[in-house]
Structure 1
Amino acid sequence: MNYSTNRPSYARWASEDEIKQSLCKVNFNETNRQCSGIPLYTGPDEQVYVDPSDTHTMIIGSTGSKKSRNIVMPSLQILAHAGESFIATDPKAELYERSLNMLRKMGLKPLVINLRDPRRSNCWNPLTIPYRLYRNGERDRSMELVTDLANCMVKEDSANEPYWQNSAADLLAGMILILFECAKESEINFKSLLALRIQALKINDSSPFIKENFLDCLDRSAFVASLLSGTAEVCDDTRSCIVSHFDQAMRPFFSQDSLINMLSVSDFDMSSIGKKKTAVFLIIPDENTLYHRLISVFVKQCYTELILEAQKQPGKRLPVRVNFMLDEFASLPPISDFPAMITASRSRNIRFNLIVQSLHQLRHQYGDNAEIIKGNCENWVFLYSRELQLLEELVRLAGTKSNEEPLITVPMLQTLDKNKGEALVLHKRLHPFIASLKDIDQYRNVSNNVKQIPYPVNTVKAENVFDFNKFCKSKSSIYLSLMFSGKTEQEISMEEEKRFMSIGDDDAVLEPLFTSVISDDREIEEFAASAGTSLLIKER
């Protein structure tokens, strides 16, 4: 068959039969259904047509275009009825409040990371997963997550001088590694990071405490030494600027006791999201983008845990499909390696649904990688936008008719009927079509009663805090020199004893010389109070 002469080269609209044959029909209120996905087309009564494959979807619509009501809320209902897990960003908490009763009825376990009110939230410690990887010998993977966390927490896209940001990120990563190597698991939390920052960078005799009493004893080839030397071993003015940038970036996460408490432990296992049907809501203040940093960290860590869990399964796929429903995706700080994530996730039973206001936002965050992300989304759903470049791209993608006129025009895209839920859908290799997507309240048996919706109650207190000064004072220079070598604490102690026994009486003093004045608890409390939080270091 000659392809060029036997197939039409012009564009046309997909017929209703073609649409229905390409998608899977589900009844909106039907339980235990065999397929699920976001609504791409709706029929009479409760009929909804979805893409049941592992295909990723990009949903484009400016503020007020009914992305949540026409697509996200119905999608969560469909996924729950199919027994699939999902992780949804929820800026207004409306998804959680509208869905909770239905989720419990369907047997999904609801989890809430509530950055609007950390006292009404499940607990999640961003340091737990990289710490356990570190302790289990997977230090390269742990270091990747630590670097991602440090970059997300400290770096800003708008900075003109990246040196200060990069140095502050290295400082944060280095201090996290100190906790991983030196602290007990119960002390791995943000409160310990604050205490470590206060103690380690206290200036005595013109140099910070950490230089004389820790770094100078380390093997200089240790990676942590390179991370910390950029702050500890520079001139006073440079160090002050780095520390100032660090303090400014971390202040929102150090200044709220309720947030520190919420981030001090994890009360759920991320890997279980791919084994048991679970609904995770990430409630974030859309008026304050500082907390978006934690969401990017959560998504990356959750993806990492799910991939590790998938690798344990016989078919290298999660037993329960996990759907990421990421509203305001292009407003989140860039997620490290996201193009690779979206490429590899399909074979692991993971789907991404990316909800953006404009492609300009996406390009701003991901640069050239935005094209890779777009290319991996085989479903595009367009609701409304004034972004001319986006509109022209959609016109080109839809193609031209036999008379060389465009199938879709910019005015047509600008006049899609919001009240009818009209949306332009580009689905895989099917011709384009206009769908009328129903508002969530148009479906039967959907509760809109959000009064007195219960939230988790967080009673956790971050009480265990690592004392860096006491740790340094209790260890010999030999012990410190053996750290960060991959050895366990027991192995380091045995090696230390061997070296002590091999040293004669006339050899140099082995203990580090503590000429620095060690901060007392009162001084630490005063510094913490200036950051707006309380800090009490208990005896180890």
Structure 2
Amino acid sequence: MGYKVYTLDFKTPLKSSKYNFLQPVIEAFSNKDIPKAVNYCSDIVESLVGEVGNREAIWINGEKSVEKTGIMAVVMGNKENKQYQNLPNTYHFISKMCAEQEDKTMLMDTYLDTLPEDHPAVASFAAARIAPSKTRASFFTSALATLSIFMDSYVASMISESEIDLNKFNEEKSVLYMILPDEKTTFYSLCSLFVNQVYTKLVELADAKGGRLKIRTNFILDEFGNFSAIPNFRWLFNSWRG
């Protein structure tokens, strides 16, 4: 029928199509649209962290601050080394740069001091940087715990580069299946993130063509009720109807 078929397979990652969840950030940065790159980065962090239980805002925002800084650093600092622009490397960056040294200093502070004051990584880390050391350590621990899902070598291979180009969803007829393990919810946040990224890209493509897509797109989300919350879903749902 002429359809290009992709799978985002978290059950058997070695059989999955590859997709780098930082791709929207990378593309915006490559196009020198830094504000858009920052917004995409915020979307990623919102999906990964969410609003967890009864956690106070200080802990949620602190964790988001650290993750956002890590993402912006690995994307903007590796323009010539694209193999490092991914979430597994974000984990490694945070784990190395946020570890306290023998002299009680932290490499992250040294690194940020080398950047311009208007660099997105400097701004995003501000909430964590001014916190007391023990509080800040909790932010780092939470960020690494969230990003630890990318440390599985099979999953890391699956999300470290991209075979799926969201731009092509409006150029060629495509089918994408998301496959999740039945026995755990570990990857639900990534499915929510992917749906959000696809939707955002389709809106951009439609806006560039007078508000209509070249190819009609249908979302069949059978297990949607089990996903992690999609940021701004009510707004997205109303827009889908249009």
- TM-score clears 0.5: yes
- Where does 1:268-279 land on structure 2 (aligned, <5 Å)? 268-279=164-175
What TM-score, normalized to structure 2? Answer: 0.90
Partner in structure 2 of residue 310 of structure 1: 206
Specify the code of the residue in structure 2 equivalent to 1:294: L
CA RMSD of aligned residues (A): 1.9
Alignment size in residue pairs = 239
Instruction: State, as a whole percentage, how many aligned pairs show the same letter.
Output: 23
Note if contact 1:126-1:298 (Cα within 8 Å) is conserved in structure 2. yes
When you count helix as a share of all residues, which structure comes out higher? 2
Look up the SS of the partner of 1:282 in the other structure. strand
**Cα displacement (A) at 1:229:** 3.2
Determine which structure has greater relative contact order: mean sequence separation of CA pairs < 8 Å that are 6+ residues apart, divided by chain length. 2
Unaligned 5+ segments in structure 2 are none
The verdict on how the C-alpha distance between 1:273 and 1:223 changes in structure 2, with shifts beyond 3 A counting, is closer
- Stretch of structure 1 that moved more, 110-119 or 270-279: 270-279
Partner in structure 1 of residue 13 of structure 2: 118
Specify the code of the residue in structure 1 equivalent to 2:106: P
Specify the code of the residue in structure 1 equivalent to 2:112: L
Specify the code of the residue in structure 2 equivalent to 1:125: N
Partner in structure 2 of residue 246 of structure 1: 143
- Measured in 2, the distance between the counterparts of 1:295 and 1:146 equals 16
Q: Could you list the per-position Cα deviations for residues 102-126 of structure 1 after superposition, in whole angstroms to 9, with x for gaps in the alignment?
A: xxxx222211000111111100000
- Measured in 1, the distance between the counterparts of 2:133 and 2:36 equals 34
Specify the code of the residue in structure 1 equivalent to 2:223: E
Specify the code of the residue in structure 2 equivalent to 1:344: S
- Measured in 1, the distance between the counterparts of 2:51 and 2:13 equals 24
**Structure 1 position 343 matched with structure 2 position 238:** yes
- Measured in 2, the distance between the counterparts of 1:122 and 1:281 equals 10
Note if contact 2:193-2:230 (Cα within 8 Å) is conserved in structure 1. yes
Note if contact 1:167-1:230 (Cα within 8 Å) is conserved in structure 2. yes
- Give 1:208's match in structure 2, choosing from 106, 109, 113: 106
- Measured in 1, the distance between the counterparts of 2:64 and 2:147 equals 10
- Measured in 1, the distance between the counterparts of 2:207 and 2:235 equals 16
- Measured in 2, the distance between the counterparts of 1:338 and 1:263 equals 24
- Measured in 1, the distance between the counterparts of 2:33 and 2:230 equals 21
Specify the code of the residue in structure 1 equivalent to 2:198: C
The verdict on how the C-alpha distance between 1:337 and 1:139 changes in structure 2, with shifts beyond 3 A counting, is farther
Note if contact 1:276-1:320 (Cα within 8 Å) is conserved in structure 2. yes
Look up the SS of the partner of 1:214 in the other structure. helix
- Measured in 2, the distance between the counterparts of 1:162 and 1:288 equals 27
Look up the SS of the partner of 1:303 in the other structure. helix
Look up the SS of the partner of 1:289 in the other structure. coil
Note if contact 1:293-1:333 (Cα within 8 Å) is conserved in structure 2. yes
- Measured in 1, the distance between the counterparts of 2:35 and 2:175 equals 30
Unaligned 5+ segments in structure 1 are 1-105, 348-540
**Structure 1 position 231 matched with structure 2 position 128:** yes
When you count strand as a share of all residues, which structure comes out higher? 1
- Measured in 1, the distance between the counterparts of 2:117 and 2:35 equals 19
What TM-score, normalized to structure 1? Answer: 0.42
**Cα displacement (A) at 1:294:** 0.4
The verdict on how the C-alpha distance between 1:158 and 1:287 changes in structure 2, with shifts beyond 3 A counting, is farther
* Structure 1 stretches of 4+ moved >6 Å: none
Partner in structure 1 of residue 153 of structure 2: 257
Q: Could you list the per-position Cα deviations for residues 227-272 of structure 1 after superposition, in whole angstroms to 9, with x for gaps in the alignment?
A: 2233344333112211121122222222x00000100011021122
